[in-house]
Amino acid sequence: MLKTVTATLLATVAMASAAAACEITLKASDTHPDGYPTVEGVRAMGKILEEKTDGRICIEMFSSAQLGEEKDTIEQTQFGVIDINRVSIGPFNNIIPETQVFSLPYIFRSVSHEHNVLDGPIGEEMLATFSDHDLVGLAFYDSGSRSFYNSQHPITKVEDLQGMKFRVMQSDVFVDMVGALGANATPMPYGEVYSSIQTGVIDGAENNWPSYDTSGHYEVAKYYTLDQHLMVPEVVVMSKISFDKLSPEDQQAVREAAAESVPIERELWAAQERASEEKIRASGAEIVTEIDKTPFIEAMAPVYQKYVTDAELQSLVERIQATE
Ligand code: GTR
């Protein structure tokens, strides 16, 4: 008993002194709950950052959209109210045109193709585009591929989507993507999707296995078709206002901590993807795995035409396609 009390006391003292040692606490936001790979990725970044700065700089994670839905948290990050934000690239599309290229359907051929792009010069250039928008792009995290799910019936071909209503992230690219498939898109915040499916405002949405699982959407939309139309990377950004307050050494420590958290998040991601798939399959959801993607890919031509509007974006698309 005494031993337990002593241990608890020691742990409390250790925690208090660790907290006291933090001269700067960076406020971080994520829409996902504790345990989700992106949330734990940023927490790992925080631990690395503490080590690099002898405990002077800490990260406090506000998970489960405690600080708001993604679009609002991006604004708060630009204003310096939130210091670090882990968001999908999608909600940046209407602010930073270059990010639309990473949001084009079927732009990435596979996870390894995506990693090769993100880990190379194109990834660096994409992170740099954030600096014109009061943000500092720090790192990309994995988020697998997104597919359609709905409450009505299994989708086995493009025609099955005709006239259906799908929620998309708040980005014009995704509205046009759904339109090109003959369905109707409703952009809305992630947190409103569950009740919107439940009440029939929309027929479904689209996401990866872990989000389909942890949002509970599979409970109200049990038909999931692995058409894998999108691979939208997650991104960790920092407020430029907060970043500029740090010394050059501390800025470097932040950049390194973010980079070093990438392989950790990737490992967590791979495990979570498997676990979520297993759980959802066991839940009785109807999964369409075998699907001819060619008609889906072909239907996306107008989306490329509309968004790849100048020579610069065209060259970016070509460089991505030419990456191994
Ligand atoms: C998830 C992503 C979130 C959020 C969500 C959405 O896959 O991790 O950041 O963008 O999708 O659909 O809103």
Number of the ligand 1 atom closest to the C-alpha atom of 210: 7
Q: How far is CA 304 from CA 190, 243, 256, 297, in A?
A: 25, 35, 35, 11
How far, in Å, from the CA of 31 to the mean position of ligand 1?
Answer: 8
Number of the ligand 1 atom closest to the C-alpha atom of 205: 12
Residue nearest to atom 5 of ligand 1 (CA): 190
Please say whether the beta carbons of 142 and 234 come within 8 A.
yes
Domain segments of the chain as ranges = 2-142+233-275, 146-231+280-322
Strand order of the β-sheet with 204-207 is 184-187, 165-168, 204-207, 146-150, 223-230, 286-288
How far, in Å, from the CA of 312 to the mean position of ligand 1?
Answer: 27
Number of the ligand 1 atom closest to the C-alpha atom of 86: 9
State the DSSP H helix or E strand holding residue 269, giving kind and residue range, or none if neither.
Answer: helix 248-282
Assigned fold of 2-142+233-275? D-Maltodextrin-Binding Protein; domain 2 (3.40.190)
* Predicted confidence pLDDT, tens digits, the chain (324 residues): 344 444 444 444 445 444 558 999 999 999 999 999 999 999 999 999 999 999 999 999 999 999 999 999 999 999 999 999 999 999 999 999 999 999 999 999 999 999 999 999 999 999 999 999 999 999 999 999 999 999 999 999 999 999 999 999 999 999 999 999 999 999 999 999 999 999 999 999 999 999 999 999 999 999 999 999 999 999 999 999 999 999 999 999 999 999 999 999 999 999 999 999 999 999 999 999 999 999 999 999 999 999 999 999 999 999 999 999
Residue nearest to atom 4 of ligand 1 (CA): 88
Task: Using most ligand atoms within 8 A of CB, pick from 29, 30, 31 the residue to mutate for ligand 1.
Answer: 31
**Ligand 1 pocket check for 141: Cβ under 6 Å:** no
Identical fold between 2-142+233-275 and 146-231+280-322: yes
**Ligand 1 pocket check for 272: Cβ under 6 Å:** no
Does domain 146-231+280-322 bear CATH number 3.90.1720.10?
Answer: no
Residue nearest to atom 2 of ligand 1 (CA): 88
**Ligand 1 pocket check for 87: Cβ under 6 Å:** yes
Looking at residue 21, its pLDDT comes to 84
